[in-house]
Homo-oligomer: A and B are copies of this chain.
Amino acid sequence: MIYIVGIGPGNKKYLTLNAIETVESSDIVAGSRRALELFDIKEDKKYILTKNLVEELKDLVINNKNKTITLLSTGDPCFSGLLKTVLKYDIAKKEDIKVIPGISSIQVVASRLKISWEDYHVLTLHGKEENRKILLNLIKNNKKVIFLPNNLKEDIEYLLNNGINPNKKITVCENLTYKNERIIYEELNNIAHMNFSYLCVCVVE
């Protein structure tokens, strides 16, 4: 059996008991170094994933057919997460997978800003080129949006090049739940010239 376990935004406090128990009862636990550090796991159970995610996961699954494997997924595996990758690249069959939900960064943003995300259009630009245009139209129509940028600088440029007012303010939430968490409310104009890590979520009111 392969468990895809959501670990939340990155801070240990956001782990569920389910995630912790599943990791404890697995033979192998695979994830980024950062993800693995959240758990107390024996060295010989750890499998560190690096850059060639798909190939590494395929090897792992093929070479450990009778073992219980946990794959750690940042945030929620079912929102812009690892589930889609596993299914898309046939890393495991649907019937051999169990998914344990985790807290998504979308939810952390909502909790920080004290907003209800049912009042927002929620979308990810990660690997979803077509969503940029949807985002553009939502903003043009003054809709409220929470979005995961693909590349924040490029995404903002796209909005500015397509008629969005450069003085429009948005909120950028960076490194949520980490020590260097930062929440900035600023004009698109200025955001375009700032540097952010890849761990960002944006809110448009």
Task: Name A's B-contacting residues (CB within 8 A).
Answer: 8, 12-18, 21, 76-81, 83-84, 87, 94, 97, 99-104, 107-108, 110-112, 114-118, 122-124, 128
Contact = CB atoms under 8 A, between A and B. Distances in A.
Contacts of A18: 13-14
A117 B83 CA distance: 11
A76 to B, nearest CB: 6
A8 B16 contact: yes
Nearest to A21: B13
B123 A118 contact: yes
18 contacts: A13-B18, A15-B17, A16-B16, A16-B103, A76-B107, A76-B110, A77-B111, A78-B117, A79-B110, A83-B114, A84-B116, A99-B110, A99-B112, A101-B108, A101-B110, A102-B103, A103-B103, A118-B123
